[in-house]
């Protein structure tokens, strides 16, 4: 399994599945419909519904996502992804490109990731603030055939979108990767 596919499967809750770069991807849902959606696998913990709903809403809300993740050379690297008007744009080596994983394709990939998950569980763990905005904090645990991940997700209390995420990905080869993501929602424009 490629690094992108490993990260995509493990990050199905936190918005990183379709960015088009080696360790960044994107996930989200379509507003309130996600809260009542039936999931394909019985392993999905009902406590995950607010997180999954926030993921959909994040995809449908113009945003600029910044990630900090391991690069191919073992050093930390940053990535950027803009989502707006159903399209996604990824910055690669300083240049913006339109991603082949638009919002619709990302949602389809998420649904596939949910079906393939062996375990998908969540727990509301408290409240916090991110850049002065009140947030509900969730932890999540995901397992599929090849990877396991544990994450922490901050969901805006007022807007229902994801503000920040932290993930530890275990690829099963004794390596763990840490990925941090933050979202900005103001003044988002297509870069090309």
Q: To which H or E segment does residue 166 belong?
A: strand 162-170
Q: Reduced to 3 states, what is the DSSP secondary structure of residue 86?
A: coil
Give pLDDT tens digits for 56-115.
Answer: 999 999 999 999 988 777 788 899 999 999 999 999 989 999 999 999 999 999 889 888
Closest residue by Cα to residue 91 from 69, 53, 118, 64 = 64
pTM: 0.78
Closest residue by Cα to residue 35 from 16, 23, 48 = 48
Instruction: State the average pLDDT over residues 167-188.
Output: 92
pLDDT at site 17 = 41
| Residue scoring higher pLDDT (10 or 183) | 183
């Amino acid at each position: 399994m490629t690094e992108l596919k490993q990260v995509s499967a493990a990050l199905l809750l936190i918005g990183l599945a379709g960015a088009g770069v080696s360790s960044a991807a994107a996930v989200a849902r379509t507003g309130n419909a996600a809260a009542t959606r039936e999931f394909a696998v019985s392993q999905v913990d009902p406590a995950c519904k607010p997180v999954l709903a926030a993921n959909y809403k994040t995809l449908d809300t113009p945003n600029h996502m910044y990630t900090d993740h391991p690069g191919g050379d073992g050093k930390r690297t940053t990535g950027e992804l803009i989502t707006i008007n159903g399209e996604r744009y990824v910055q690669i080596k300083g240049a913006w490109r339109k991603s082949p994983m638009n919002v619709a394709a990302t949602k389809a990939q998420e649904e596939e990731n949910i079906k393939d998950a062996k375990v998908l569980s969540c727990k509301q763990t408290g409240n916090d603030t991110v850049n002065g905005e009140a947030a509900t904090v969730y932890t999540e645990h995901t397992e599929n055939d090849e990877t396991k991940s544990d994450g922490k997700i901050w969901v805006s209390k007022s807007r229902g979108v994801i503000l920040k995420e932290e993930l530890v990905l275990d690829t099963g080869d004794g390596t763990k990767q840490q990925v941090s993501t933050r979202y900005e929602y103001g003044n988002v424009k297509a870069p090309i």
